[in-house]
Amino acid sequence: KAGVTQTPRYLIKTRGQQVTLSCSPISGHRSVSWYQQTPGQGLQFLFEYFSETQRNKGNFPGRFSGRQFSNSRSEMNVSTLELGDSALYLCASSLGRGHQETQYFGPGTRLLVL
Amino acid sequence: AQSVAQPEDQVNVAEGNPLTVKCTYSVSGNPYLFWYVQYPNRGLQFLLKYITGDNLVKGSYGFEAEFNKSQTSFHLKKPSALVSDSALYFCAVRDGNRGSTLGRLYFGRGTQLTVWP
């Protein structure tokens, strides 16, 4: 099976712009979770989507949003970018049916905000 | 509240020696515990997990982890380290009794493992 894919792999934006990141889960997986990784804060949970519905949300401002499509692909959007949004954004997929499931991560999108 | 602590930012070992990367956790319900590894400019790769049963869990690349409920620990171990094991290791937990956390993992800050030749 193909793994989790994320596009683009690298992005450079300027403050105030918006950005959309894409994640394609492993075939058959219906849950997609997003995480932000920074040297200062570590890995922080953004949100999780399951069957096109947001099921769980972390403590991020409303500038961070996401959605999931009927084929389980997911996008996250960050509006009005700030310098502090520079990070590696990771998505992870799982079947989404139980606590014992493993989340499988994509390679990440590295966002640099100038 | 759910949380994970990795008390060592860095662990240095010589190739061929055993390695241990420490992890302690806090959950109110049943803990489901995971170890991931991250190589530079890469995503997280799953190594192993503890769900229930035998306290010693075996995973990928010769790694294993020992679950200790009384000490709320889940230390990662390998009998003989390789230079190629050098990477950033993350411990994560999910509370099995909380439905709202179904899609969420709580991660530690990570431990940088360096294995020198």
Per-residue model confidence as pLDDT tens for chain B (117 residues): 789 999 999 999 999 999 999 999 998 888 899 999 999 888 999 999 999 889 999 999 999 999 999 999 999 999 999 999 999 999 999 887 766 566 789 999 999 999 999
Report the pLDDT value the prediction gives residue B89, as an integer from 0 to 100.
98
The model's pLDDT over A42-91, given as tens digits with 9 standing for 90+, comes to 999 999 999 999 988 999 999 999 999 999 999 999 999 999 999 999 99
- Which of B30, B100, B105 is facing A103, going by the closest CB pair? B105
The residues that bridge with A65 in the sheet, in sequence order, are A77
Report the pLDDT value the prediction gives residue A96, as an integer from 0 to 100.
83
A52: left (phi over 0), alpha (psi -120 to 50) or beta: left
Q: What is the DSSP string of chain A?
A: ----EEE-SEEEE-TT--EEEEEEPPTT--EEEEEEEETTTEEEEEEEEETTEEEEE-S--TTEEEEE-TTS-EEEEE-S--GGG-EEEEEEEE--S-TTPPPEE---EEEEE-
Report the pLDDT value the prediction gives residue B46, as an integer from 0 to 100.
96
Report the pLDDT value the prediction gives residue B42, as an integer from 0 to 100.
84
Pairing of strands B3-5, A104-105: unpaired
For tokens 């602590």, the residue is: B5
> Which residues in B have their CB inside 8 Å of a CB on A?
30, 32, 34, 36, 41-46, 49, 51, 90, 94-96, 100-110
Instruction: Kindly determine whether residue B43 and residue A108, on different chains, have CB atoms separated by under 8 Å.
Output: yes
B76: exposed, middle or buried (C-beta count within 10 Å: 0-12, 13-18, 19+)? Answer: buried
Instruction: Kindly determine whether residue B104 and residue A102, on different chains, have CB atoms separated by under 8 Å.
Output: no
Contact by Cβ (8 Å): B101, B94: yes
Report the pLDDT value the prediction gives residue A47, as an integer from 0 to 100.
94
Query: Which of helix, strand or coil describes residue B94?
Result: strand
Report the pLDDT value the prediction gives residue B95, as an integer from 0 to 100.
80
Report the pLDDT value the prediction gives residue B99, as an integer from 0 to 100.
63
Report the pLDDT value the prediction gives residue B100, as an integer from 0 to 100.
59
pLDDT level of residue A5 (50, 70, 90 thresholds)? very high
Instruction: Kindly determine whether residue A42 and residue B46, on different chains, have CB atoms separated by under 8 Å.
Output: no
Interval A81-102 mean pLDDT: 92
Distance from C-alpha of B37 to C-alpha of B93, rounded to nearest angstrom: 15
Distance from C-alpha of B28 to C-alpha of A81, rounded to nearest angstrom: 36
Q: How far does chain B reach from its first CA to its final CA, in angstroms?
A: 41
Instruction: Kindly determine whether residue B95 and residue A99, on different chains, have CB atoms separated by under 8 Å.
Output: yes
Report the pLDDT value the prediction gives residue B53, as an integer from 0 to 100.
87
- Which of B44, B46, B94 is facing A99, going by the closest CB pair? B94
Report the pLDDT value the prediction gives residue B98, as an integer from 0 to 100.
64
Which residue is closest to A40 within chain B, CA to CA?
A: B109
C-alpha closest to that of B43 among A95, A33, A81 = A33
Q: Which residues of A touch B41 (CB under 8 A)?
A: 110
